[in-house]
Amino acid sequence: MTELQALIFDVDGTLADTERDGHRVAFNKAFADAGLDWEWSIARYGELLRVTGGKERIRQYLSEDHPAVLNEPGIDARIRELHAAKTRHYVALLETGAIPLRPGVRRLLDEAEAEGLRLAIATTTTPENVTALLEATLGSEGPYRFEVISAGDVVPAKKPAPDIFTHALEAMNLPAEACLALEDSDNGVRSARGAGLEVVVTTNDYTREQVFDGALAVLDGFGEADQPATVLAGPALEGSVVDIATLRAWVSGAKG
């Protein structure tokens, strides 16, 4: 039986709660800068999160709320410009330290490294966003703690397509059965499972009502001693936190 050798993390919603008070705010600032009266409320943004990728999310919004705009000349370039402006606002927000890692993430990263597990990222967000988050929360060495960062447009098809996880696996030269994906959304679960990976889910405000068919376990977080994790679906948790021993046991159990 192949032993667990690597953890592959999603970013937004998994490493940190970045969506509601991070990306959404940055999108609205970019729209305002461009003189647009578009305003994504907390609820509206939650609806748009069913589409992965920032540029794709703008396009989906336009198709539903401003369909005529999609037919304007140069719309593809305009969407790219809006997304680039949004990224600048998001990075500036991260640099203020306003968005911390979710409870238990730093502990789990430290434990993984101590036990010799390799670390990677597979996300639809841009590489700039990933680097900014990791540097803001883990310091200048943060990005280098991950052997592979598969992000953004490095693959043409975004989650729920499996391409981004397949890209990470190929970059690490590891089979799917040697790795575990950590995700927060149903799109993420479908993407990871499509690449042959087992998945553990930690939900957030935007995803807790989703259906995570195929996940090994679903929890409300990784947990800390003073913030115990709660299992929402899957095997019982021994203790108050998800640790590497727990992840190894779950993966081993899935393989029979």
- Kindly list the catalytic residues: 10, 12
Under DSSP, is residue 66 helix (H, G, I), strand (E, B) or coil?
coil
| Sign of the CA dihedral running 210, 215, 220, 221 | negative
Rg of the chain, C-alpha, whole Å: 18
Q: What is the DSSP string of 22-37?
A: IIHHHHHHHHHHTT--
Question: Which is it for strands 231-233 and 118-123: parallel, antiparallel or unpaired?
Answer: unpaired
Kindly state the helix (H) or strand (E) to which residue 168 belongs, with its residue range: helix 163-172
Q: Is 74 left (phi over 0), alpha (psi -120 to 50) or beta?
A: left
| 231-233: strand order across its sheet | 148-151, 118-123, 6-9, 179-183, 198-202, 217-219, 231-233
CA angle (145 as vertex; 220, 150 as ends), nearest 5: 75
Q: Are 93 and 99 in contact (CB under 8 A)?
A: yes
